[in-house]
Amino acid sequence: MPLLEHLGELRKRIMYILIVLVLGMVIGLIFAEPVYDYLMDQEQAKGLTLHAFSLWDGIGMYMKFALVISLVAALPFTVYQLWAFVRPALRENEQRAALKYVPFALIMFLIGLSFAYFVVFPLAFHFTRTVAEQLSLEETYGITQYFAFMFNILIPISLLFELPLVIMFLTAIRVLNPIRLRKMRRLAYFLMIFIGVLVTPPDFISDVLVAIPLILLYEVSVLLSATIYRKQLAADARWEEEYSS
């Protein structure tokens, strides 16, 4: 395709994604209150009274929940649209291999979401409350601040759990390979540790509990990339042997 046709195709894919996001937000508004009630029944929220400091706080809470629910629902569709955009550049076997990653995008996101909510968020929340108690501060939490704090932890970590799928996809379309990933290991480790420090309280234990799973995710990604790369080399060797004969 010429450049303008590529841009037109990209615009079409983005429009599809935006439509699904809007529809997902409508569904999210329906489920926002049940999800809110579930979160407020959890251990770390028991006995916690949330306040509204402006007239828009309640509406803002509904919109935040609707957006998060919409992102979860639209994630597999977004990955499919990405696959559809690059499909013309892939061989038939690469198309089938890349398409298999679409359902796993939601699974990995939900695993990351569970890890962030049940492990990282309680650590961060209890740490901040402990500091407030040590400073003899009266705890008064706004609903906007509480859920903004929660989502700022949950969403980045959940998206990071897509790393193995992203690397496998980029390996399948021959953008990355395990050799390049091993050369980038030091930089990747630094980024994983930096992210772990960024989203957790400033204590060593919390940083380690987050950074180690992220580093393990990267190493798993390298192993998966190596598996795909070996299959690609074998397929190329068979093709060359058949072509030369």
Residue 142: strand, helix, or coil? strand
- Please, are residues 142 and 53 in contact by the beta-carbon 8 Å criterion? yes
Q: What pLDDT score was predicted for residue 206?
A: 67
Q: 141-166: string of b/e by CB count within 10 Å (b at 16+)? A: bebbebbeebbebbbebbbbbbbbbb
- Please, are residues 93 and 235 in contact by the beta-carbon 8 Å criterion? yes
Q: What pLDDT score was predicted for residue 241?
A: 78
Q: What pLDDT score was predicted for residue 3?
A: 73
Q: Which residues in the chain land under pLDDT 50?
A: none
Global pTM exceeds 0.85: no
Q: What pLDDT score was predicted for residue 18?
A: 92
Q: What pLDDT score was predicted for residue 200?
A: 66
Q: What pLDDT score was predicted for residue 76?
A: 85
Locate the domains of the chain by residue range: 3-239
